[in-house]
Amino acid sequence: MYKNFFKRTIDFSFSLLGFIFLSPVFIIITISLFFANQGKPFFFQKRPGKNEKIFQIIKFKTMNDKKDANGNLLSDQERLTKIGLFVRKTSLDEIPQLLNVIIGDMSLIGPRPLLVQYLPLYNDFQKQRHLIRPGITGWAQINGRNAISWNQKFEYDVWYVKNYSFLLDLKIVFLTIKKVFVREGISQEGVATMEVFKGNV
């Protein structure tokens, strides 16, 4: 019953209430990033959702678009703005994704939606992460977030797909709040977020 009905009902209700409650913070960050990123406070990108259906995710834009002399974007670390670093460390960049949850593209809890170009690189086991809606936070996020390896992340994602329940989701919510305050696992060593997934080698 929870998997087929209540999870979506809870997602919609709490996301709507959360967005209303956080709207003052949403407005302040939007204005700050508007000036920090030359009028571009939001980041839009296509991501695969449930059953690999493509949707457009929305997040706060924490990196600018600065390029080198050859017209190539600088590294993530070099493009991360001061306000963007704060927003990312406090996980406030996830607030706009509540809109994705409200319209049904995402869930509050589930495997994080990764890049579209990773789809052909997954093996059959890893593809199971797309059997449910992706989430704003998930089992992998409370077990290391970006500081763990890709294989570990996929193991956690698929385990969640096979075992999620109301009590597990409740546990993930509380541990996510703890992680936000402790600020663990935000990035891998040497990079601003996480290294690119290059497939199974």
Given a cut of 70, is residue 1 above it in pLDDT?
A: yes
- Beta-bridge partner residues of 80: 63
Environment class of 29 (CB within 10 Å of its CB; exposed 0-12, middle 13-18, buried 19+)? buried
User: How do beta strands 107-109 and 135-137 pair?
Assistant: parallel
Question: For 56, how many CA atoms within 13 A lie in the half-sphere containing its CB?
Answer: 3
The pTM assigned to this predicted structure is 0.86
What DSSP line would sit under 127-193, residue for residue? Answer: HGGGSS--EEE-TTGGGTGGGS-HHHHHHHHHHHHHH--HHHHHHHHHHHHHHHHHT-SSS-TTSSS
Amino acid at 154: F
Q: 55 with 72: CB under 8 angstroms?
A: no
**CA–CA distance from 128 to each of 29, 40, 75 (Å)?**
35, 35, 31
Q: Grade residue 199 by pLDDT with cuts at 50, 70 and 90.
A: confident
d(CA 14, CA 18) in angstroms, rounded, equals 6
45-75 pLDDT, tens digit each: 999 999 999 999 999 998 888 888 887 888 8
pLDDT in tens, 183-197: 655 555 445 457 889
In sequence order, what are the residues at sequence separation of 6 or more whose Cβ sits closer than 8 angstroms to the Cβ of residue 168? 139, 160
